Amino acid sequence: MSTLQKLSATVQHLQNEYVPRAKARRFALGVSSLSLSEFSSLNAAGRRLGLNRWTGENRIRRLVTDTKLTDHLQQLLVSEALAPRSGYWYCSLDHSQFGPFCIAILAVSHRKGRAIPIWCQVNVSEAGLIRPLLIALQELFQFLAEKAPRLQLVLVMDRWFASDKLFKLFTQYGICFITRTKSDKRVVLPWDPSWWRTPIQEISLLETSITYRTHKLRLIRSEIRPGMKDAEPWFLLTNLPDGITRQQVLNRYAERFEIEEAFKDMKWLQRLEWQRVKKPEVIRSLLLFVFLGWWLLWRTTVKELPKQKVHPKKRLSWFRQAWEYLQLLLRTPLLPPIPVAQLQRGRKK
């Protein structure tokens, strides 16, 4: 079975499994128009359908404003990525700016250089992100409690997410986390009076138990080495048990940067940096179809990519390789290819 046939079969399976019949045609349209092709604009995606211009643009417009289909798509991604898992499973939670929107994104880490995004929450600005984020995460945790009871989700986050409100939500649903925190955050040490709070930057121990607000956590600090980019070490807070060693926690946090690289690929390789979407429900639908494209490439294309016999620093990411390989398969050449035998005869002459 060819790569395109595998992609088609996988999409058909996902459609039958998660999408109602009434939404099937619209779902297939979204996958073909938004998931696996460069984005220029929604209207341009409609015109590529080969229909009357207004018909194509209206079909795309109805697609991205169908909130019920978007919810089915969100459940599809989370179920496929997390429902079959058991034990500890690490995901990166971060936010990024897409046009006028500040969007929180959850991505699964496979330790391959690029995390695979599977969930998002859209907000107009970073300042007002925390309250809707709490509501959206609560819905996600309730969904996972039903669909993946054997899963122990571990969220790996940057300093922005070191919030008492988030920690309370994680504790309520039994979610583990690793988050970086600011050096001036004050915590209580076990051997100090309960009323005395010490800035984290003054703690020289590489690992110790601390209390932040009402949360009993582990504080883990990385070592400072010559030539480091950051002027200070990482200060990490985690509620993972002691069985997860300090070095494992540091390694897992280092993998968080895979989501940063995924943001770059989505914005520059898939050209989402230049989108002009103005409505939150539209950007959410667009991003979830893009996430589905990532998941399809990971499921069907990565194993077929040739091994790169180049210096590690010159290797392409798995996503760039799979993306360029797929575009090559989808592209129809303007001229027929020259036979190899004819090329060899030309070289001999």
34 and 105 part of one domain: no
State which of 226, 259, 292 marks the end of a domain: 259
- The pLDDT of residue 294: 94
Helices (H), 19-64: 24-30, 42-47, 53-64
- The pLDDT of residue 90: 95
* Domain CATH code at residue 154: 3.90.350.10
Any domain includes 126: yes
60 and 155 part of one domain: no
Please count the structural domains in the chain.
2
65 and 151 part of one domain: no
Q: Which amino acid is residue 278, in one-letter code?
A: K
66 and 83 part of one domain: no
Q: What is the mean pLDDT of each run of 10 residues along the chain (349 residues)?
A: 87 94 94 90 88 88 95 95 93 93 93 92 83 94 94 95 94 96 92 83 92 93 76 91 94 93 92 89 95 93 78 83 88 70 58
How far apart are the C-alpha atoms of 178 and 192, rounded to whole Å?
24
For residue 253, the enclosing domain spans: 76-259
190 and 309 part of one domain: no
301 and 211 part of one domain: no
Any domain includes 338: no
Pairing relation of β-strands 116-123 and 101-108? antiparallel
43 and 80 part of one domain: no
Any domain includes 216: yes
How far apart are the C-alpha atoms of 108 and 295, rounded to whole Å?
10
- The pLDDT of residue 309: 78
Enumerate residues 6+ apart whose C-beta is below 8 A from 161.
93, 155, 179
- The pLDDT of residue 127: 74
How far apart are the C-alpha atoms of 301 and 325, rounded to whole Å?
9
Q: Which amino acid is residue 296, in one-letter code?
A: L
